[in-house]
């Protein structure tokens, strides 16, 4: 299957962050039945599936979703591999121009988010890339709560709600996608 524009945008974003990934890994979810999520993220120990309008028109992945919004194969990947599978149909772009954010923070709804299927048939929504403000470790956590990244660094005073989804490095990576695709006219 060809790589969609949305998928190429995620490649640019992750390359900018120097996050390693395996593209389109084959996952055995049952005897003689494989599924290929968009990518496997080594450092996060997670799968990332990029859905797009282009996929929805031709891809069986878009069908047979249960009430959670995940397809049966997507749920199987998480359950069989005991690793989370993050799903998004959003581009890694920012919805507001840089001029709106001089010296200011971004709100949740300005940042691309993921649904996540955890193992054991649990799922959740509103996960975002975030960065530990101390060591720079990256993760995809609920509402971009960097406190939940599994490094040994001291956490915020709250202990759980230290948000850091709009760090300088992450915003630079989102902007990089804007720049590359504006330049190419896509």
Residues that bind Zn ion (CB under 5 A): 132, 134-135, 137, 151, 153
Q: Residue 97 Cβ, how far from Zn ion at the closest point, in Å?
A: 31
* DSSP helix, strand, coil percent of the chain (3-state; round to 5): 30, 25, 45
Look-up of token digits 């049966």: 72
Nearest to Zn ion of 36, 134 (CB atom): 134
Total residues belonging to the chain: 186
Report the nearest approach of Zn ion to the CB of residue 17 (Å). Answer: 15
Identify which of residues 1 and 135 has a Cβ nearer to Zn ion in the complex: 135
Judged by CB, which is closer to Zn ion: 111, or 132?
132
Q: Which is nearer to Zn ion, 73 or 139 (CB)?
A: 139
Least gap, CB of 31 to Zn ion (angstroms):
41
d(CA 96, CA 15): 22
3-state secondary structure of 91: coil
What are the two backbone dihedrals, phi and then psi, of residue 131, each rounded to the nearest 5 degrees? -130, 135
In the complex, what is the shortest distance from the CB of residue 136 to Zn ion, in angstroms, rounded to a whole number?
A: 7
Give Cα separations from 69 to 9, 61, 115 (angstroms).
23, 11, 9
């Amino acid at each position: 299957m060809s790589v969609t524009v949305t998928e190429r945008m995620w490649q640019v974003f992750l390359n900018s962050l120097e996050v390693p990934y395996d593209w389109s890994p084959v996952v055995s979810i049952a005897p003689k039945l494989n599924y290929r999520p968009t990518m496997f993220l080594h450092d996060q120990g997670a799968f990332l599936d990029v859905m797009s309008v282009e996929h929805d028109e031709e891809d069986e992945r878009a069908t047979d979703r249960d009430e959670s919004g995940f397809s049966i194969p997507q749920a199987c990947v998480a359950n069989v591999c005991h690793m989370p599978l993050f799903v998004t149909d959003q581009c890694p772009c920012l919805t507001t121009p840089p001029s709106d954010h001089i010296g200011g923070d971004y709100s949740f709804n300005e940042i691309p988010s993921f649904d996540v299927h955890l193992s054991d048939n649990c799922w959740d929504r509103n996960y975002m890339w975030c960065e530990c403000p101390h060591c720079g470790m990256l993760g995809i956590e609920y509402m971009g709560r960097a406190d939940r990244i599994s490094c040994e660094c001291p956490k915020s005073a709250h202990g759980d709600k230290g948000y850091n989804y709009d760090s300088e490095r992450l915003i630079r990576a989102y902007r990089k996608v804007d720049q590359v695709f504006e330049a190419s006219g896509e």
